[in-house]
A and B are shown apart, each in its own frame.
Chain A
Amino acid sequence: MAEIIKVENEFLGEKYYVTKHKSGLEIYVFPKKLTKYYALFATRYGAIDNAFKLEGEDEFTRVPDGIAHFLEHKMFENEDGVDTFERYAKFGASANAYTSNTMTAYLFSCTEHFYNSLEILLDFVTHPYFTPETVQKEQGIIGQEIRMYEDNPGNRLFMGLMEAMYEKNNMRIDIAGTVESISEITADILYKCYNTFYDLSNMALAVSGDVDVDKVLEVADKILKVCNAQKIIRCYPEGEKAEVFKKRYSANLQVAKPMFMIGVKDIDISSDPKIRQWKSAAVNILDSMLFSRSGAFYNELYDQGLISPNLGYGYDHAKTYSFNIISGEADNPELIYDRFVKYIDDKKQNGLDRDAFERCKRVAYAANVCSYENTDYIANMLINNVFEETDMFGYTDIISSITFEDVTELLNKIFKEEYYTMSVVNPIETK
């Protein structure tokens, strides 16, 4: 039997277990005395993986945009005709799935009969079944999902930002694809994608709740077969420049007020996960210092009536993409952009505020301490860390190690005008 490793953090008072199951699947078990159980079975396969081959194959396979998401939908159908949701319903579990740019994840939460539902999860995700008829049926449902996103200004704003920021990076691809791209999907292509990416060696299982490691492994023993452990070679576009591709994107939708999203492109991504994790935490503190509701940027713009109260900001730093986002609603997004540029220049010249640094570190400290409050969040965070190759308990030490000088240096490195772009959704002009 494979070794079960215990990973513990005394400061947080939390622990989890990790083991490589004999099937080849990595299993993470995070015991937590809560009422809800949560399980997440995920594969390293998302919207950006549109060209790939297995080691030994001659040619790359190119697939239509949106296929990872389409496959996620189709996995819920089974050969015996019984819908997966109906199987879960027998045990009262609430099931779902999602596809991101880099991952497809199947999940359920429940308060009882956890191991029965876990059996269903492991079983249906390892048993694909598609026919031309069922593929066609799904094109109708996903077609409506795509239409829904087309009408969603937040989605348009973000996709517009990716199109402006990146010339080549596959973050430009809409996760659901387009009505046209999904019409090219066939059962055969779905099997090809499935057989490539749903190999257990490319997947991980995370469970959280009042669980027992041995019982989880018993279910895995019962359902999972030994995988091929094949090597996947992914082909991503190369030669993405440091500068943004375009300075602006704009679309017109029926919204009340223009919406803006300022992006700061960052192609400086370390191959060392520890460095990535440190940078992510440090820039998050820097962002709070710059854009939080105690800061001058927010308060001046808001007091002058230039922005709506819901200014958002965040830094996303992953293996294949990295950017800062500042978003909100304003009558004149160009004015906000100019003020943003000036504000950052001023901070670079006159320095950041040390008090703000201390306060934002306190906020980061508490956010880390209070992260482990529900099983849903825990399992998702665990998988994210596994796929990003980072240590989820590492934040405690990282946050205390970050200095004022560190964030000052990051301010000067990351915030440069050639890395800025903006996406805007304007209201449709009414005649």
Chain B
Amino acid sequence: MAKRIPIAPGASLNVIETDKFKTNFISVNFIAPLSSDTASLNALFPAVLRRGTKSYPTTAKINERLEYLYGSGIGTRNYKRGEMQIVGFSAHVMDNSFTPDGTDILGGTLDLLCEMIFSPKITDGGFDKAYVESEKRSLTDAVKAKINNKAQYAYIRCQQEMCRGEAYGVQETGTVEDIEKITPDTLFSQYKKIISDARAEIFYVGRNASENAEKVADKMKTAFASVTRIESPIPLTEVIREAKEVREIVEDQPVAQGKLCMGFRTGTVLDDGDYHIFTVMNEIYGSGTSCKLFMNVRERLSLCYYCSSSPEPRKGVMFVSSGIEVEKKDVAQAEIIAQLNNIKEGIISDEEMDSAKKSLRNGYLGISDSAGGIESWYLGRRLAGLDDSPEEAAEKIESVTKEQVTEMAKKVTLDTVYFLRGTLLEKNEGGNE
């Protein structure tokens, strides 16, 4: 279980001690409501902060410093969980006990990290204009580059179409147009707002927690004291529990394979209290290599290489993704629905039930082998107002019954079908008779 240390109003340090690794992990997460007005600003400012600080005004200087600190890594983060946007930094640091020369890697990395967040390079009372322009360009490139990964692209497009008009339909990068509008001034004021107003969850996962976490806490307290913090709640996520009519969207692209992404409303969310039943249902349906989608859409019908479901536990949505031959779209879609209907009708074997539980249990217990995994678990729980450990979650699923799974599946409704129709082979075949 995570120990919590108050750092400033609305800011806490979560400490998880583990001696499994020779590296320690630190993250600083600011949690903002996901909104089209601010998504691109929130996405951009950490990247600008990473470019230059007061003492290390260039990116080259920052990176030289990190190399000197035995390759400590500091990376920016920006992702959404439900209708929350989480931005900030993560760092991994070799434990001081393994240095050959007594370098204080942890202290050095923390100083740099705190300076990055609270004392950036300032020119004319704001962010360096060249850095802002350069990072706007990179973020724009990143938004445009989403088209490079077709499966991911189809998934994003399905989310956008299904949740248009809801905050969840907003991408954590914002749009190219949003980014275009950003000025150094609007960015700087949003940055100031986030570091003082947004809920902050800081993590230390690593060795020698009593001493190291105290060091993290001290440095963070000093750093956060440089701004006037307010207590802020965790942003809420709007939940739509049932789909109305099904929408179908087809888009053409000159690619070889069609990408199908089907969006469902799950009718249940993490803080309902019985979400663990849905987790078992999802495992039976579309996760891993013994689920219904894998065994049927792939293994029995040979329609695809991958077919799996991924739920969003806070928003109460689930997406089923598969890469298929364009002509097989209707067959695949029908099979994906048929497998869900099987669960709704209680067609679940004892083996499926047992495999799903064991697979989930294996996943939960394995979390403790990765510092990033541990952090991600506890941050996710914290955001839902929970604090159970992965081991406790593993225990909880044991008692789930088939009947409960069936009832849970009945709440799932299809909302949106998105199909990226590949046109490349069509043309080839036309000219190839």
Given known contacts A144-B305, A256-B141, A329-B141, is B134 in contact with A362 (CB within 8 Å)? Answer: no
Hey, which chain B residues are within 8 Å of A293, CB to CB? 59-60, 63
Hey, which chain A residues are within 8 Å of B130, CB to CB? 303
**Which residue from chain A places its CB closest to the CB of B325 in the assembled complex?**
A144
Most buried by A among B64, B71, B147: B71
Does A31 interact with chain B (Cβ within 8 Å)?
no
Complex Cα gap A138–B301 (Å): 10
Hey, which chain A residues are within 8 Å of B134, CB to CB? 302-303, 305
Q: Is the CB of A373 within 8 A of B21?
A: yes
Hey, which chain A residues are within 8 Å of B68, CB to CB? 359, 362
Does A151 interact with chain B (Cβ within 8 Å)?
yes
Q: Tell which of B98, B253, B294, B324 touches A254, judged by Cβ atoms closer than 8 Å.
A: B253
Size range of the chain B interface in the assembly = 35 or more
Q: Is the CB of A256 within 8 A of B361?
A: no
Size range of the chain A interface in the assembly = 35 or more
Given known contacts A142-B305, A359-B68, is B370 in contact with A370 (CB within 8 Å)? Answer: no
Main secondary structure of the interface of B (DSSP, over half): helix
Complex Cα gap A86–B368 (Å): 26
Given known contacts A83-B299, A374-B370, is B304 in contact with A363 (CB within 8 Å)? Answer: no
Task: State which residues 1-60 of B face A: CB under 8 Å.
Answer: 20-23, 58-60
Looking at the complex, which of A106-114, A163-171, A380-388 is the stretch in contact with chain B?
A106-114
Q: Is the CB of A308 within 8 A of B141?
A: yes
Q: Is the CB of B147 within 8 A of A254?
A: yes
Q: Contact string, A395-430, partner B, CB cutoff 8 A, digits 1/0? A: 000000000000000000000000000000000100
Does A229 interact with chain B (Cβ within 8 Å)?
no
Q: Contact string, A348-375, partner B, CB cutoff 8 A, digits 1/0? A: 0000000100011011011101101111
Q: Is the CB of A373 within 8 A of B23?
A: yes
Q: Contact string, B74-103, partner A, CB cutoff 8 A, digits 1/0? A: 000000000000000000001000101000
Q: Contact string, B117-147, partner A, CB cutoff 8 A, digits 1/0? A: 0000000000000100010011001101111
Q: Tell which of A85, A94, A359 touches B64, judged by Cβ atoms closer than 8 Å.
A: A359
Q: Is the CB of A86 within 8 A of B290?
A: yes
Most buried by B among A36, A85, A111, A140: A111
Most buried by A among B254, B354, B366: B366
Complex Cα gap A111–B368 (Å): 11
Hey, which chain A residues are within 8 Å of B370, CB to CB? 374
Hey, which chain A residues are within 8 Å of B142, CB to CB? 308
Hey, which chain A residues are within 8 Å of B137, CB to CB? 305
Q: Is the CB of B23 within 8 A of A362?
A: no
Complex Cα gap A277–B294 (Å): 41
Q: Is the CB of A147 within 8 A of B369?
A: no
Q: Tell which of B59, B94, B294, B299 touches A299, judged by Cβ atoms closer than 8 Å.
A: B59
Does A34 interact with chain B (Cβ within 8 Å)?
yes
Q: Is the CB of B63 within 8 A of A294?
A: yes
Complex Cα gap A78–B368 (Å): 34
Given known contacts A89-B358, A257-B144, A365-B100, is B366 in contact with A111 (CB within 8 Å)? Answer: yes
- Least CB distance, A144 to chain B, in whole angstroms: 4
Q: Contact string, A70-84, partner B, CB cutoff 8 A, digits 1/0? A: 000000000000010
Does B348 interact with chain A (Cβ within 8 Å)?
no
Q: Is the CB of B290 within 8 A of A147?
A: no
Does B429 interact with chain A (Cβ within 8 Å)?
no
Q: Contact string, A122-152, partner B, CB cutoff 8 A, digits 1/0? A: 0000000000000001101111110110111
- Least CB distance, B19 to chain A, in whole angstroms: 9
**Which residue from chain A places its CB closest to the CB of B255 in the assembled complex?**
A151
Most buried by A among B137, B151, B295, B305: B305
Q: Is the CB of A375 within 8 A of B369?
A: yes
Does B362 interact with chain A (Cβ within 8 Å)?
yes
Complex Cα gap A140–B58 (Å): 52
Hey, which chain A residues are within 8 Å of B59, CB to CB? 293, 299, 302
**Which residue from chain A places its CB closest to the CB of B65 in the assembled complex?**
A294
Complex Cα gap A373–B294 (Å): 31
Does B426 interact with chain A (Cβ within 8 Å)?
no
Hey, which chain A residues are within 8 Å of B324, CB to CB? 144
Does A186 interact with chain B (Cβ within 8 Å)?
no
Hey, which chain B residues are within 8 Å of A365, CB to CB? 70, 100
Q: Is the CB of B304 within 8 A of A366?
A: no
- Least CB distance, A377 to chain B, in whole angstroms: 11
Does B240 interact with chain A (Cβ within 8 Å)?
no
Q: Is the CB of B67 within 8 A of A362?
A: yes
**Which residue from chain A places its CB closest to the CB of B299 in the assembled complex?**
A83
Complex Cα gap A365–B141 (Å): 34
Does A225 interact with chain B (Cβ within 8 Å)?
no
- Least CB distance, A310 to chain B, in whole angstroms: 9
State the B residues within 8 Å of A (CB): 20-23, 58-60, 63-64, 66-68, 70-71, 94, 98, 100, 130, 134, 137-138, 141-142, 144-151, 253-257, 288-290, 294-295, 298-299, 302-306, 323-325, 351, 354-355, 358-359, 361-363, 365-366, 368-370, 422
List 6 A-B pairs, minimum CB-CB distance, nearest first.
Answer: A92-B358, A140-B302, A89-B355, A363-B71, A256-B144, A294-B63
A-B contact pairs, 20 of them (CB 8 A): A34-B20, A85-B289, A89-B288, A89-B289, A92-B359, A92-B361, A137-B302, A144-B303, A150-B257, A151-B422, A256-B145, A256-B147, A288-B67, A293-B59, A294-B66, A296-B60, A308-B142, A360-B67, A369-B98, A370-B23
State the A residues within 8 Å of B (CB): 33-36, 83, 85-86, 88-96, 109-112, 137-138, 140-145, 147-148, 150-153, 253-257, 259, 288, 292-296, 299, 302-303, 305, 308-309, 329, 355, 359-360, 362-363, 365-367, 369-370, 372-375, 428
